[in-house]
Amino acid sequence: MVIVMAPGASAHEIDALVSVVERAGGTASVSRGVSRTIIGLVGDIERFETLGLLGKPGVADVLRVSVPYKLVSRENHPARSVVRVAGVPIGPGTMTLIAGPCAVETPRQTLAAARMAQQAGASLLRGGAYKPRTSPYAFQGLGEDGLRILADVRETTGMPVVTEVVSAHDVSLVTEYADMLQVGTRNMQNFALLQAVGDCGKPVMLKRGMNATIEEWLMAAEYIAQRGNLDIVLCERGIRTFETATRNTLDVSAVPVAQGLTHLPVIIDPSHSGGQRELVLPLSRAAMAADADGLIIDVHPTPEEALCDGPQALVADDLAELGRAVREFPPLLGRHLTAGASLVA
């Protein structure tokens, strides 16, 4: 059982609740997030139900949910949620395209990629300043310099910025620059990072671990939610299987399955799933047809010079086809492409 406190609940109200629970033989774990406090109860649920918790001062909601992820569960919150990133919606009714370079390299490359993204219909700019790399000798990203470039390109293009954070230590810095923080596949169970982005006050994109079950992915989201941050978008990016013809295997079924279990939006990354430019368009179309709430795609003005994942980046020639797909497919499922900042912005 989980108690969600009202935003302005006082320390005194929280303490009072904990006492009530403990007197009833239970234990209460209090998670004080930036925007809300969440209290998890362990003990005799039947007993707790007799305590009138919902009527106590400061209590916004009391959830009794049978699944292990409670705050993100659809069982408790049947309506599917819309997450807004600097005003841009991700969720039911829309199909939001996020695009940009895998890694921020130079102001010029980033701006060129952002223009390409806009041309294809993107309303949000992606770009990595911190890159989690398998090898310590590989390019690790520009760090704060990269964040500054992203902020400048946002200024120029009007596109809000989605960027990855790879360490709890960097969360406050990244939050200063980004409109949405991304937690990558290798960090899906980096619980310290999950708690830090749970406290950051900005929306979070949580990529599925390449070896994670859907249930574990929702539990990871619950770590963020438990800190009071429910502005979470889930991103499927391929799982690890025995097949070697693709980098990973896009689990397109994860869209309907996850949407049935959680109220959070679910988007797809076709670039990292397949690892090949030729697969980005078919997988993007498949994702939209599976009713994904959005797509996140790598684009690069000159992928042969890219410092990271060049082979999977779309180039200028592909944009018209992507632009057509993101306009034609969503209406078949009652969605429309999320409008971005004007191209003349």
Q: Which of 211, 305, 339, 343 binds a second copy (CB under 8 A)?
A: 211
Q: Which is nearer to a second copy, 135 or 342 (CB)?
A: 135
Instruction: Choose one: 4-12, 82-90, 149-157, 327-335; the region binding a second copy (CB under 8 A).
Output: 327-335
Least Cβ distance, residue 137 to a second copy (angstroms): 5
- Confirm if 341 and 87 have CB atoms less than 8 A apart: no
Residue 17 found at the interface with a second copy (CB under 8 A): no
Provide the minimum distance between the beta carbon of 278 and a second copy in the complex, in angstroms, as a whole number. Answer: 7
Which residues, in sequence order, are CB contacts of 287 under 8 Å at separation 6+?
250, 252, 255, 267, 268, 270, 295
Q: Residue type for 180, please?
A: M
| Residue with Cβ nearer a second copy (206 or 250) | 250
Contacts of a second copy in 237-296 (CB under 8 A): 239-246, 249-257, 260, 273-274, 278-279, 282-283, 285-291
Structure tokens at 66: 């049978």
Judged by CB under 8 A, the residue of 332, 339, 343, 345 near a second copy is 332
Can residue 336 be called a binding residue for a second copy (CB under 8 A)? no
CB of 259 to a second copy, least distance (A): 9
- Site for a second copy contains 187 (CB under 8 A): yes
Among 114, 214, 264, 296, binds a second copy (CB under 8 A): 214
Spatial neighbors of 28 by CB under 8 A, at least 6 apart, are: 17, 18, 21, 22, 39, 40, 41, 42
Of 219 and 319, the one with the shorter C-beta distance to a second copy is 219
Which of 292, 269, 48 shows the shortest CA–CA distance to 164?
A: 269
Q: Is 290 in contact with 252 (CB distance < 8 Å)? A: yes
Q: What is the size of the binding site for a second copy (CB under 8 A)?
A: 71
Residue 175 near residue 161 (C-beta atoms within 8 A): no
Our CB check for a second copy shows the closer of 86 and 246 to be 246
Phi, psi angle pair for 86, to nearest 5°? 50, 40
Find the helix or strand (DSSP H, E) in which 205 lies: strand 204-207
- Shorter beta-carbon distance to a second copy: residue 11 or 192: 192
Alpha-carbon distance values, 124 to 153, 174, 225 (Å)? 11, 16, 23
* Site residues (CB under 8 A) for a second copy, limited to 128-147: 132-137
Burial of 19 (0-12, 13-18, 19+ CB in 10 A): exposed
Instruction: Indicate the DSSP class of residue 185.
Output: G
Q: Mask of contacts with a second copy, 151-180, x by CB under 8 A?
A: ---------------xxxx-----------
Instruction: Output the smallest distance, CB 329 to a second copy, in A.
Output: 7
Whose Cβ is closer to a second copy: residue 62's or residue 166's?
A: 166
